[in-house]
């Protein structure tokens, strides 16, 4: 399927992305790996990466742990398709080995990937079949077009490997289709696409390498470090730099402490903008405000803070740095950008979205 299908349906399939010899080697390796984790499970990287969930058939961060997966994250025919939607510079955000352990709770409920990370850029997922993936051994199920409206309300089931699940009232299973694949095929799909797989207990294995990719517009990873899989050349990097980025580099070089802030906030400091509110009145908000003062005074930026927002009614009407603390309201917020400077980022982000605030007007510090 062409990339247009990826944009319209939310997924596309790349046939024969992996050759038969490479598949045979990976089947042998993953069989040994699963046996090792099931019977010994010693992990020298436990301090750096999440533990494997062999009871659910999820081995996390295998690219970092095992070089056998390196080429699987850089399949040319797959990266060609990704480049059409992400751009020439692509990095590996997250990855895992997936399989269906027989006799275990191996179903995957309907979900959108990274549904709890609404503040991060969209990602594209690549799911490469190590074995034939058919209905009988638990192939993927998807709902075509379900990616078009962004992230949906969800709930969390504590203790489960697949803990974040779309609220069932938003799932129309009558529109679902099975994505049957031959070994070596790869499916690319939007992280917003509704997908799942059924619990099965087949004698036929169903292993897959899954990887999530993101572009260079914002560099963020859940743990470890980003790995560039395509691009990042001097030429492509030079094309990303303009006068604003030159200033950003200077600011970061001269003020090391600013590197502790989210890059969206650093970029926002030097961009043209309308009046701005800071959501939060704690120590993080104090650091954010002082950083804004520094950049305004030292580099000529003109970022104006009109007020501080807080959900604590006891603080309304008080002042923070001689600026009013006010209640969040849609009438006020819609006239401003909002910098979230609080450890309750996810809750505040959802609050703002529910108030109708545009994502483009929300900045994480």
Give the tens place of pLDDT for each residue, 291-301: 999 888 888 88
Strand runs labelled E in 138-241: 140-142, 154-156, 164-166, 177-179, 186-190, 195-197, 208-215, 227-230
Chosen CATH of 241-364 out of 3.40.1190.20, 3.40.50.2300, 3.40.640.10, 3.40.50.720: 3.40.50.720
Residue found under tokens 């390196």: 70
pLDDT of residue 273: 66
CATH number of 3-236: 3.40.50.10800, 3.40.50.1220, 2.60.120.620, 1.20.140.10?
2.60.120.620
Tell me, what's the pLDDT at 133? 98
Average pLDDT over the chain, rounded to whole? 90
Percent of the chain with pLDDT over 70: 95
Interaxial angle between packed helices 243-254 and 283-299, expressed in degrees from 0 to 180 and rounded to the nearest 10:
120
Evaluate if residue 324 carries a pLDDT over 70.
yes
Parallel, antiparallel, or unpaired for β 195-197 and 208-215? Answer: unpaired
Contact 189, 125 (CB under 8 A): yes
pLDDT, one tens digit per residue, over 70-90 is 999 999 999 999 999 999 999
3-state DSSP call for residue 357?
coil
Query: Rounded CA gap, 14 and 46, in Å?
Result: 34
pTM score, whole prediction? 0.71
Break the chain into its structural domains and give their ranges: 3-236, 241-364
In this model, does residue 178 exceed pLDDT 70?
yes
Cα–Cα distance list, 88 to 215, 230, 252, 291 (Å): 8, 7, 25, 33
The pLDDT, as a whole number, for residue 359 is 77
DSSP letters, 9-38, are HSEEEETT-S-HHHHHHHHHHHHHHHHHHH
DSSP assignment of 281-327 equals -SHHHHHHHHHHHHHHHHH-----EEEEE-S-GGGTT-EETTEEEE-
Model pLDDT, residue 1: 47
Residue 47 has pLDDT above 70, yes or no: yes
Backbone φ and ψ of 259, nearest 5°? -65, -15
How deeply is 354 buried, as exposed, middle or buried, from its count of CB atoms within 10 A (0-12, 13-18, 19+)?
A: exposed
C-alpha separations of 351 from 117, 291, 355 in Å? 14, 25, 6
Retrieve residue 205's tokens. 């294995």
pLDDT tens sequence across 299-309: 888 889 999 99
Q: Residues 97-141: pLDDT tens digits?
A: 999 999 888 999 999 999 988 878 899 999 999 999 999 999 999
Per DSSP bridges, beta strands 195-197 and 58-60 are unpaired
Q: Within 10 Å of residue 94's Cβ, how many Cβ atoms?
A: 21
Pull the structure tokens for residue 76.
Answer: 């040319």
Q: How far apart are CA 358 and CA 335, in angstroms?
A: 11
- CA 53 to mean position of chain CA atoms: 20
278 or 255, higher pLDDT = 278
Please name the residue ranges forming H helices in the chain. Answer: 3-9, 20-39, 62-65, 76-86, 234-240, 243-254, 263-269, 283-299, 330-333, 345-354
| Beta-carbon contacts of residue 77 (< 8 Å; ≥ 6 apart) | 14, 17, 186
Contacts of 38 (CB under 8 A, 6+ apart): 54
Beta-bridge mates of residue 208: 98, 129
Q: Within 13 Å and on the Cβ side, how many CA atoms surround 3?
A: 12
Both tokens assigned to 59: 């081995």
């Amino acid at each position: 399927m062409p990339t247009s299908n990826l944009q319209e349906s939310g997924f596309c399939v790349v046939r024969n992305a992996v050759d038969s010899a490479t598949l045979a080697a990976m089947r042998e390796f993953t069989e040994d790996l699963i046996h090792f984790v099931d019977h010994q499970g010693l992990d020298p990287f436990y301090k750096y990466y999440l533990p494997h969930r062999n009871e659910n058939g999820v081995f996390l961060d295998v690219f970092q742990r095992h070089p056998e997966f390196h080429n699987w994250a850089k399949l040319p025919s797959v990266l060609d398709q990704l480049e059409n939607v992400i751009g020439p510079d692509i990095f590996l955000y997250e990855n895992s080995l997936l399989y269906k352990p027989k006799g275990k709770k191996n179903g995957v409920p309907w979900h959108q990937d990274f549904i709890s990370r609404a503040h991060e850029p969209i990602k594209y997922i690549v799911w490469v079949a190590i074995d034939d993936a058919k209905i009988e051994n638990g192939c993927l199920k998807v709902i075509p077009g379900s990616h078009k409206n962004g992230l949906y309300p969800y709930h969390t089931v504590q203790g489960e490997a697949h803990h974040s699940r779309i609220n069932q009232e938003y799932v129309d299973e009558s529109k679902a289709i099975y994505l049957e694949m031959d070994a070596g095929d790869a499916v690319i799909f939007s992280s917003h696409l509704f997908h799942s797989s059924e619990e099965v207990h087949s004698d036929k294995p169903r292993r897959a390498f899954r990887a999530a990719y993101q572009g260079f517009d914002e560099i963020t990873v859940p743990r470890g470090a980003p790995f560039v899989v395509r691009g990042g050349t001097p030429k492509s990097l030079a094309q990303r730099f303009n006068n604003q980025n030159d200033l950003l580099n200077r600011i970061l070089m001269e003020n090391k402490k600013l590197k502790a802030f989210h890059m969206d906030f650093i970029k926002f400091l030097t961009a043209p903008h309308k009046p701005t509110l800071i959501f939060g009145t704690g120590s993080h908000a104090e650091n954010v405000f002082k950083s804004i003062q520094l950049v305004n005074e030292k580099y000529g930026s003109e970022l104006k803070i009109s007020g501080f927002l807080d959900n604590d009614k006891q603080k309304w009407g008080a002042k923070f740095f001689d600026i009013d603390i006010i209640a969040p309201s849609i009438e006020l917020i819609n006239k401003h950008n909002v910098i979230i400077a609080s450890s309750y980022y996810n809750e505040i982000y959802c609050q703002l979205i529910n108030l109708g605030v545009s994502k483009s007007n929300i900045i994480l510090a």
